[in-house]
Amino acid sequence: MKGNEALAEAAVRAGCKCYFGYPITPQTEISAYMAKRMPRCGGVFLQAESEIAAVNMVYGAAASGVRAMTSSSSPGISLKSEGISYIAGCDLPCVIVNVQRGGPGLGGIQPSQSDYYLATKAAGHGDFFMLVYAPSSVQEMADLASRAFDDADKYRMPAMILSDGLLGQMMEPVSFKDHENPPDNKEWACVGHKNKRPHNVINSLYLKPEELEASNIERFKKYDIVKKELHLAEEYLTEDADIIVTGYGAAARIARSAVNGARAEGIKAGLIRPITLWPFPEQAYAKAADTAKVFLDVEFSMGQMVDDIRLATSCRRPVRFFGRTGGVIPTTAEVLEQIRRIAKEELK
């Protein structure tokens, strides 16, 4: 399957009942797939009049307790920012998919990873975070989409799948795991109750400063719990590594090939691949910094994850960076050349 299709199918199997979208390359296959699939499983597919409309439809569906999703690509996600902030302000679960393309502005349509800041730090106005997952294969497009729905419900917060055009468009074999039916006990949801209980209120407006502050403090207490419970990373050949190469998503697959190449030349390289980007898996980096001498971050961007690695390692080791942007994909040979240069100049 294509990555976009695998993600859409996994969402349906995870109990997603409402999909609202607006076309944009390179994520349109998600909408096209949902248009065919949703009517067959009793769900709702709706092509909204804009990205802004689509995210607000997700807001409404989520408020009624239904598993809901929208998807777009970079410029479209910027448009959804306001709605995402409202959803976070109301503590509603939903899944937002970003199949990243080059930016800023209208940018290009080729794969990119330049929305890391947007996803992990600035998804919209206000004090809030989203869960952010970074799939690295078509199989993970499916697995993490499924997991994102469960975690979003568990923590009552929006979750983003941060993919890119390469993963969305490429085809790989995929298998689907059985997914338990989502729990149907959202006691906070706005559904009809015939006056048998007090009204549920879904709202992000607090005109009294103390009330707004209290809601923010409450939300950040939840974030502390999430940070403790949810930090996923894959570690590969890190135990004896002098150089830790790191990257997420598609970049991590290129980095892994380069690590294998370096090992074949006798350079002790390893890989850390963050799977959750928020919460950032600081533990894996902190541990690696005890023994590794230098980090090399590889991204399809100008280096948006570098600061998080520095923070996770308390700046104990230098963090070097190699990236290509605008839709240009770094090659394994280019990354291997960086590893060789670091080994020569910095490992003495």
Partner 1 sequence: MIKRITVITGHYGSGKSTFAANYAIAAAAEGRKDVAVCDMDTVNPYFRTADLRDIFSENGVRLIAPMYAGTNLDTPILDYDIPSLYEEGLSMVIDMGGDDTGAYPLGKFGDFLKSHGQETDVLYVVNFRRYLTRDPADSAEIMRDIEKACGLGITGIVNNTNLGAETDRDIISEGAALAEELSRISGVPVFCNTVPTLCCRDVKVDKMFHVERLIADPFSK
Distance CA 102, CA 115 (A): 9
- Closest approach, Cβ 129 to partner 1, in A, equals 30
Strands 233-236 and 269-274: antiparallel
Considering the rule CB under 8 A, would residue 36 count as an interface residue with partner 1?
yes
- Closest approach, Cβ 33 to partner 1, in A, equals 8
Decide whether 245 or 254 has the Cβ nearer to partner 1. 254
- CA 9 to the chain's CA centroid: 18
Provide the β-strand partners of residue 294. 243
Q: Which of 172, 234, 242, 337 binds partner 1 (CB under 8 A)?
A: 172
Considering the rule CB under 8 A, would residue 171 count as an interface residue with partner 1?
yes
Considering the rule CB under 8 A, would residue 237 count as an interface residue with partner 1?
no
- Site size for partner 1 (CB under 8 A): 26
- CA 140 to the chain's CA centroid: 11
Decide whether 65 or 111 has the Cβ nearer to partner 1. 111
* CA distances for 84 relative to 56, 75, 346, angstroms: 8, 14, 43
* CA distances for 35 relative to 67, 267, 315, angstroms: 17, 49, 48
Decide whether 141 or 312 has the Cβ nearer to partner 1. 141
Considering the rule CB under 8 A, would residue 169 count as an interface residue with partner 1?
yes
Residue 101 DSSP symbol? B
Considering the rule CB under 8 A, would residue 29 count as an interface residue with partner 1?
yes
Decide whether 77 or 166 has the Cβ nearer to partner 1. 166
Considering the rule CB under 8 A, would residue 242 count as an interface residue with partner 1?
no
Considering the rule CB under 8 A, would residue 256 count as an interface residue with partner 1?
yes
Distance CA 314, CA 152 (A): 30
- Closest approach, Cβ 2 to partner 1, in A, equals 6
Considering the rule CB under 8 A, would residue 166 count as an interface residue with partner 1?
yes
Instruction: Please report, as residue ranges, which positions from 83 to 122 form the binding site for partner 1 (by CB under 8 A).
Output: 109
φ, ψ (nearest 5 deg) of residue 305: -95, -10
Decide whether 165 or 182 has the Cβ nearer to partner 1. 165
Q: Which long-range contacts (CB under 8 A, 24 or more apart) does 8-11 make?
A: 8/33, 8/34, 8/37, 9/33, 9/37, 9/142, 9/176, 10/141, 10/142, 10/143, 10/145, 10/146, 10/176, 11/69, 11/95, 11/145, 11/146, 11/149
Considering the rule CB under 8 A, would residue 332 count as an interface residue with partner 1?
yes
Decide whether 82 or 172 has the Cβ nearer to partner 1. 172
Residue of 88, 37, 96 whose CA lies nearest to 63? 88
Which residues, 6 or more positions from 213, have their beta carbon under 8 angstroms from its beta carbon? none
Decide whether 186 or 273 has the Cβ nearer to partner 1. 273
State the residues that interact with partner 1 by CB under 8 A. Answer: 1-2, 5, 9, 25-26, 28-29, 33, 36, 109, 165-166, 169, 171-173, 250, 253-254, 256-257, 329, 331-333
